[in-house]
Amino acid sequence: MILVFCELKDGKIRKPSTEALSAGRRLADASGQPLGALFAGASCAGAAEAATYGADVILTAEGATLGSYSSDAYAQLVADAVKAKGATVLLAGATAMGKDVAPRAAARMGAGYASDVTGLSMADGKLQAVRPVYAGKAFATITFTSAVQVASTRPNVFPVVEKAGAGAVEALPAPAGDFKSVVKEILAKAGGKVDLTEANVIISGGRGMKSGDNFKILEELADALGGVVGASRAAVDADWGLPHSMQVGQTGKVVSPTLYIACGISGAIQHLAGMSGSKFIVAINKDPEAPIFKVASYGIVGDLFEVIPELTKAAKAMGVGKG
């Protein structure tokens, strides 16, 4: 079996999980194995939707003890499910939770783990993974020597494919409790916007923005395009009050949106590493020699303080962010 650890949010399967399920379905077809989806929580309502993405079996561990995420409890649950089902491949979306639970579960099983993969295939029944290393400056092909093979899939990379699976639901026992650590509280950021790693459109600002207040014009453009705002390391480190969670680059987030608009970002190698996986890159910079133009699909040499408001105005007029 190919087993996928899935996350639910408000009774819906999170998008990175549907991507992992779709990738898992492809591997299952390639190797003639069933696809399993694993859910855990106080309630697993909504898990049945996994059949839409090809799950033959839907495993649900429901119980009060699973209401709050616990690294050790979830890792044990996942490892037990892999063992019970004789799964050879375990996938999870490379989300905050997926990246927390998957390596711990892998260690529990003595399994090899490939994090944040961008490519997956089966050769002779063994998993092969491709993943960015050095923040995307290179790509490594990973093969496994362990019986169980674990990978987390980078959000926004694997296409979501709807393909009906049998979707037989099977309940798993919930662990008793007494966990080593547990999440006590979620502190949501104001706005509740999509995380950079999952965003389809990112508008990023660099040193050329001149101040944190000026990011307001990027927010306006992001709203018009249905995107979220990021920043370069130079901007985050400039004491403009921008949080590190906004930073895109080698020591920040590595992103792969459909559209990345770099505003006033020169394109240091660390920044390019973090965003060169974007499908389309737009560079807006007044310096025509800026290295960012070398990776840009479209470049605008000009004053961003003039260009960005025009872009926002034109985007609103065209109504592009509405669909």
Q: Binding to another protein (CB under 8 A): which residues in 18-77?
A: 69, 71-72, 75
CB of 204 to another protein, least distance (A): 16
Angle, nearest 10°, between helix axes 96-109 and 71-85?
60
CB of 167 to another protein, least distance (A): 27
Q: Residue from 19, 49, 62, 116 that binds another protein (CB under 8 A)?
A: 116
Interface size with another protein, residues (CB under 8 A): 98
Which residue shows structure tokens 């807006």? 284
Which residue shows structure tokens 């872009």? 311
Query: Both tokens of residue 55?
Result: 């799950």
**Residue (18 or 276) nearer to another protein, CB:** 276
What Å distances lie between residue 207 and 166, 196, 304, CA to CA? 53, 19, 12
Q: Residue from 87, 259, 262, 275 that binds another protein (CB under 8 A)?
A: 259
CB of 166 to another protein, least distance (A): 31
As a whole number of angstroms, the distance between CA 92 and CA 4 comes to: 6
Q: What residues have CB less than 8 Å from 183, skipping those under 6 apart? A: 68, 69, 70
Residue 198 binds another protein (CB under 8 A): yes
Q: Residue from 10, 124, 180, 289 that binds another protein (CB under 8 A)?
A: 180
**Residue (103 or 165) nearer to another protein, CB:** 103
Site for another protein, residues 93 to 112, rule: CB under 8 A: 95-97, 99-101, 103-108, 110-112
Site for another protein, residues 224 to 243, rule: CB under 8 A: 243
Residue 115 binds another protein (CB under 8 A): yes
Q: Residue from 134, 166, 170, 241 that binds another protein (CB under 8 A)?
A: 134
Residue 219 binds another protein (CB under 8 A): no
Binding mask 271-310 for another protein (x = CB under 8 A): --x--x--xxxxx---------x-xxxxxxxxx--xx--x
Residue 83 binds another protein (CB under 8 A): no
As a whole number of angstroms, the distance between CA 173 and CA 166 comes to: 22
**Residue (170 or 303) nearer to another protein, CB:** 303
Q: What residues have CB less than 8 Å from 298, skipping those under 6 apart? A: 280, 281, 282, 283
Element (H, E) at 136: none
Residue 314 binds another protein (CB under 8 A): yes
**Residue (139 or 166) nearer to another protein, CB:** 139
Residue 164 binds another protein (CB under 8 A): no
As a whole number of angstroms, the distance between CA 143 and CA 205 comes to: 38
Residue 318 binds another protein (CB under 8 A): yes
**Residue (55 or 260) nearer to another protein, CB:** 260
Q: Residue from 32, 176, 192, 289 that binds another protein (CB under 8 A)?
A: 192
**Residue (31 or 305) nearer to another protein, CB:** 305
Q: What residues have CB less than 8 Å from 74, skipping those under 6 apart? A: 40, 66, 97, 101, 105
As a whole number of angstroms, the distance between CA 182 and CA 42 comes to: 14
The values of phi and psi at residue 129, to 5°, are -125, 145
**Residue (35 or 281) nearer to another protein, CB:** 281
Q: How many CB atoms sit inside 10 A of residue 191's CB? A: 8
As a whole number of angstroms, the distance between CA 197 and CA 298 comes to: 22
